[in-house]
């Protein structure tokens, strides 16, 4: 039985929730659910801890973050097993996620020491002689972090780590279907000497989220999830600082110069793997593969063949690449979208079948560009291959989307790479690889319906703080 974390301390209640494995429904854990009164206590404690936490030294915060990183590393296999249990992602990806969480906290520890502000001469006019400015960033206030099911520890880490690095108290609401990884992380954070009340992890139901979002004591909201919920949050509290990491329908564009056997095999392997890994439940999972007409037939066949060989089964097996979806409703939705595309003229090159919560790795061709699987986020192990006649058409198709998270462009041409960087309406352009690439210290976030703000340690730290200038007067500069 897992306690939740109220103001940095383990807590229980009279309500217990079960957590079940998406693959077979087996019970993988239980946790106590905070009451409304306990949630209020956590928020009040976070609000009261603001000054004490802000006053801690950069070294103290960095040491705490380093300890967290080291302890996650020591408990990687245990955490990975919990991730697979509650989320259903194959154990190879769960281990990767746990390792990434280690990296996130290590980067936060380093950035905490570097987050120093800047100085500015103000004696640039005769009237301002003798004045000098020191600009530092201070926490805006308590952060409310709302995390999704698909990365149950790493996306929690991306909210907690930058908050701790800048000295901002944080309340985390993990996804109801995958709270155990966050609660284990709480065990590790509790080993540090962070100020009392400065953090809480509250596995409450989604119907409590609007009240938390509306609470004026938490002026920063960091949300990762669906675009509908994210923009509802933004509309509800437009005066708050909102970071939204939302959906996508990521495209990989393979151009005519990417045409050697080695090139084509690389593109096929990468797109098939990262269009289906974790059952496609990633915002930057490859969904649309746009292929120049000169290599379309060859590459589309290679992609379908590679996808058909991916092991779809027991997520605890080291050989499994594609596991179950988070629940049967999600798998049924994917099935319906694929069937609808087929009814509109699409061809199934491989896959296209469902078994309970499992959906087979699927590649579709001849998909109308206005089909749901083309223009919406499918969030499942489904890719479409589409033919383009030019670089311009490829760019136009990528940009003809309500989303703008990341895109991949397979090209050897440096001019095309810089043009893609300039013209593609996305938050990140990956050259020579899939849009699924993410290094946790880099700025990550999209535009349009993919959200606002950035993750990545230094950028998230900026999002959680504001500038404040101190002007020194009468100096002999």
**What are the catalytic residues?**
245, 283
The single residue listed with the structure tokens 């499942």 is 380
Task: Please list, residue by residue across 231-240, b when 16 or more beta carbons sit within 10 angstroms of its beta carbon and e when fewer do.
Answer: bebbeebeeb
- The answer to whether 162 and 460 are in contact (CB under 8 A) is yes
For 175, phi then psi, to 5°, come to -65, 135
Separation between Cα atoms, residue 380 and residue 324, nearest integer Å = 10
- What is the distance between the alpha carbons of residues 358 and 338, in angstroms, rounded to a whole number? 14
Between CA 4 and CA 30, with CA 199 as vertex, the angle to 5 degrees is 15
Q: How far apart are CA 386 and CA 388, in angstroms?
A: 7
Distances (CA, A) of 68 to 50, 62, 65, 103, 115: 21, 10, 5, 10, 19
Look up residue 117 and give its two tokens. 């502000």
The answer to whether 122 and 137 are in contact (CB under 8 A) is: no
Residue 150 CA: distances (Å) to CA of 57, 107, 381: 34, 22, 13
User: Any idea which residue has 């535009």 for tokens?
Assistant: 447
| End-to-end Cα separation, the chain, in angstroms | 63
Cα–Cα distance for residue pair 303/259, rounded to 1 Å: 14
Size (the chain), residues: 477
């Amino acid at each position: 039985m897992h306690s939740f974390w109220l103001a940095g301390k383990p807590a229980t209640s009279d309500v217990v929730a079960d957590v079940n494995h998406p693959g077979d429904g087996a019970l993988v854990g239980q946790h106590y659910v905070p009451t409304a009164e306990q949630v209020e206590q956590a928020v009040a404690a976070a609000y009261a801890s603001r000054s004490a936490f802000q006053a801690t030294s950069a070294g103290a915060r960095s040491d705490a973050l380093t300890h967290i990183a080291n302890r996650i590393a020591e408990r990687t296999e245990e955490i990975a097993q919990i991730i697979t249990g509650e989320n259903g992602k194959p154990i190879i990806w769960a281990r990767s996620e746990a390792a990434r969480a280690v990296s996130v906290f290590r980067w936060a520890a380093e950035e905490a020491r570097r987050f120093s502000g800047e100085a500015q001469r103000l004696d640039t006019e005769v009237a301002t002689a003798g004045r000098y400015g020191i600009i530092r960033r201070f926490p805006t206030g308590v952060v409310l972090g709302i995390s999704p099911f698909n990365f149950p520890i790493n996306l929690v880490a991306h909210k907690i780590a930058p908050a701790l690095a800048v000295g901002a108290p944080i309340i985390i609401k993990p996804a109801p279907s995958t709270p155990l990884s966050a609660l284990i992380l709480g065990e590790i954070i509790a080993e540090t000497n962070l100020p009392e009340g400065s953090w809480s992890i509250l596995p409450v139901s989604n119907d409590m989220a609007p009240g938390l979002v509306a609470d004026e004591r938490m002026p920063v909201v960091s949300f990762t999830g669906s675009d509908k919920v994210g923009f509802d949050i933004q509309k509800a509290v437009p005066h708050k600082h909102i970071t939204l990491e939302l959906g996508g329908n990521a495209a990989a564009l393979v151009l005519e110069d990417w045409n050697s056997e080695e090139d084509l095999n690389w593109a096929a392997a990468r797109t098939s793997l990262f269009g289906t890994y974790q059952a496609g439940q990633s915002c930057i999972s490859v969904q649309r593969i746009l292929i120049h007409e000169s290599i379309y037939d060859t590459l589309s066949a290679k992609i379908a063949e590679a996808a058909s060989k991916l092991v779809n089964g027991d997520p605890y097996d080291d050989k499994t690449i594609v596991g179950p979806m988070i629940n049967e409703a999600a798998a049924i939705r994917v099935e319906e979208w694929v069937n609808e595309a087929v009814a509109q003229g699409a061809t199934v090159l491989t896959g296209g079948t469902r078994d309970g919560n499992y959906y087979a790795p699927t590649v579709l061709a001849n998909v109308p560009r206005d089909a749901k699987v083309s223009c919406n986020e499918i969030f499942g192990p489904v890719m479409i291959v589409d033919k383009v006649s030019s670089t311009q058409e490829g760019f136009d198709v990528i940009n003809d989307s309500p989303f703008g998270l990341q895109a991949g462009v397979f090209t050897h041409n440096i001019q095309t790479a810089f043009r893609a960087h300039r013209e593609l309406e996305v938050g990140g352009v990956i050259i020579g690889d899939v849009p699924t690439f993410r290094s946790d210290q880099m700025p990550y976030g999209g535009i349009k319906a993919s959200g606002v703000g950035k993750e990545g340690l230094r950028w998230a730290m900026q999002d959680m703080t504001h500038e404040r200038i101190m002007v020194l007067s009468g100096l002999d500069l």
